[in-house]
Each structure stands twice: as C-alpha cells, then as structure tokens.
Structure 1
Amino acid sequence: MNAEPNFSAQRRLLIGGAALGLFSALTGCSTETPVNLSGLAVQNLDGKPVELSSLLGKPTAITFWATTCPGCVEEIPHMIALYDKFSAKGVNVVGMAMSYDSLNQLKAMVSEKKIPYTVLQDKTGAAAAAFGPVRLTPTFFVLDAKGNIRYQKIGPFDKTRVDQLLTALTSS
C-alpha cells in the first residue's frame, strides 16, 4: 500500500479551485449572500451620514469606485444607463466612493460627468469591509430588496446580465 499523499490529485484540486475563483471574479457571480447593512453609515456629498439600511426594500445596483480609477470613470455612462432605465422602477443606483476620495473630488466628478444617481462616500471603509471586503475598484454589486448579493463583479460589469437581473428583480 502506498501511504504517501497523492500530491498530483491535490494539485489538480487546488488549481481547479483557483481557476473557478478566477472565472467567477472575471465573469461575475451570483451568490445570494446577505450583506449586513444595519448600523452601517456612510456620508453623502454634503458630509451628512446616510444609513445603508435605507437601501433595503428595493433592489440596488452599487459600484465601489474612485475618481482616480480609469475603469471606474469608464463605468459611469453604464451606471447612468442603469439609473435611466431602472430608477423609475424603484432600483437604487449608487456610486460608493472609496475612503481616499475627497468630497471635493467627488463633487467635481459628479458635476463634470453629470451623474444623476446617488453618490456616497465610504469615509471609514466600513461599507467596503461589509461587502467583502472590497479592495479593488470598480467592484459592482446587485442586491435584492432584502440585501442579498445577487451579482458581484470586479472590473466592468456584464451589462446584459445586470439588465436581465434587475428586470427580473423589478418584475417580481
């Protein structure tokens, strides 16, 4: 009998798991993992606190972004399109700025890009921690009305998939 571990099988499992993780990160995944939004506050562009639990009760499209992130700036027109299509159907569309963006930078970007959706700042990093933690921008999520993550994606989100998901979440 061979009592030695089968490193080849272990290696295949490890590589397969890593590949699945990378595939999920690149394509976006649906998890239905709840995010605990209670007691979690961020700030609006006036520096006033906003409780993230206020997002509950409606589907939410939220992107963690930064004004200095080229991919985040490229994502803005897609976020505006989501806002234009789904805000009247009750979807919260939110740009959650990372802690290192100043309110002045955010206000300038909102004005320059004519951003109609809600922009908040995660000044303490607590929201980024609650969502993952979020370490890279852009990182995009769709939450259902109960605050469960239904889709998450690092990098550009799949516009067709998100459109279909938000359509399904607003027609139930």
Structure 2
Amino acid sequence: MTTPAPEISPPAASAAPADPARRRWLYAGVAGAAAVGGAGVAWWKFQPHAMDSGAEKALWALEFETPDGATLALQRFLGKPLLINFWATWCAPCVEELPMLNAFYREQAPKGWQVVALAIDQPSSVRKFLARLPLEFPVGLAGMQGTDLGRSLGNLTGGLPFTVVLGGEGRVLHRKMGQVTAQDLQQWSALR
C-alpha cells in the first residue's frame, strides 16, 4: 500500500511586498548618506592638515637644483612675501595654473612678491616642459624631497597642485590644495 505524499503548502508570506514609493525613499536615503559620506572624505582629503612642528624653520634651510643646474636656496627668499607652488608636468591642473602664476609674479614682483615653483617630477620632463612654456620665476627640481616638504606643510595625501603662501617674516599665511584661482591670487596679494 502506498502512502499518499504529504501536501506541501506554499510558504506563508512573511511580509507584504514593500510599497514602491517607500522603496524609492529608502534607496534615496541610502544614496544621500553615501554622497554625504563621500563628500566628507573628499573634503578631508583636500584640506591642508596640521603642519609638522618646525616645518617652517626647516623650509628655509632647503636647497634645490634648478633645471639649468644652479642651486635654488629658499633662504634667499626670506624677508619678502613668497608663494611656493608644488606642481608636476603630468598634472593637468598644475599646468593650467602656471600661466596665471606667471602673470601674478609679473604683476606683483614690483610690490615685493616672489614666486617659486617646486617640481615633483623627473628633471628631464621639467626641462622639456619649460622649453615650451618658460616661466619668469625660479623653478626647483624637488622630486621626493618636495613631496616630503609638502607633507610636512600639511599636504598629507601628496596631492598636486599644492600652494603655500608665506609672509615676509617666513611664516605660513595660507595653504591651498588644488588649482589656484584668480580670486585666490587677488586675496593673497593683500597679505604681507
């Protein structure tokens, strides 16, 4: 004799399917939270952080080779306002801002301003670049020493471009991660 197979009943629905409008709100909330979190991380990443103790003093003792083989001693710039720009030939925002920095130097040099570009790049690439786009202000071949200097000045990620503005007494007045704007230069030109 055969026993009848037990009846299998369909599983009971534990909950009604979610309302489509409710689901959209849930997805929007998750996406919004992710966007806010991502923006917070990006903001943190692109903000200059605290400088190392003694970074300003150490800065003035540094020397870099120039593209033409001379020595660029930062100490010679002490006593007047100085804008130091960390850049590289492979960094598109760096390359875009160099003509603006050159114009700033041309306009502000008679008022005592100085500009120095520190290339975080291969010397041969910098020389080729400067042959195409000469700059009126000094350029130092900083390489990894420049990356370390940037980090000591608060650029923990090593991102480029990175700009530091120093007053005549040698103190850091402003630091900026990212491309410089005309408004930045106008604001900084009032600093001393």
**Normalised by the size of structure 1, how large is the TM-score?**
0.71
Moved more, 103-112 or 46-55: 46-55
1:147 paired with 2:170, answer yes
Residue identity (%): 26
1:54-80, Cα deviation, whole Å (9 max, x unpaired): 221010111100011111111111111
CA spacing shift, 1:119–1:147, aligned 2, 3 Å: same
**138-147 vs 37-46, greater mean Cα deviation:** 37-46
Q: Which residue of 2 aligns with 1:112?
A: 132
| Equivalent-residue separation in structure 2 for 1:97 and 1:79 (angstroms) | 14
Structure having the larger proportion of residues in strand: 1
Written as runs of structure 1 = structure 2, the 5 A alignment for 1:1-172 is 19=40, 22=43, 25=46, 35-36=56-57, 37-98=59-120, 101-125=121-145, 126-133=148-155, 135-169=158-192
Mapped partners of 1:62, 1:108: distance in 2: 21
Aligned residue pairs: how many? 148
Highest Rg: 1 or 2? Answer: 2
Which is bigger in relative contact order (C-alpha 8 A, separation at least 6)? 1
Cα gap change, 1:63 to 1:38, in 2 (>3 Å): closer
Q: Distance in 2 between matches of 1:60 and 1:95?
A: 11
Which structure 1 residue ranges, 5 or more long, are not aligned? 1-14
8 Å contact from structure 2 (residues 60, 78) kept in 1: no
1:165 alignment partner AA: W
> How does the TM-score come out when normalised to structure 2?
0.65
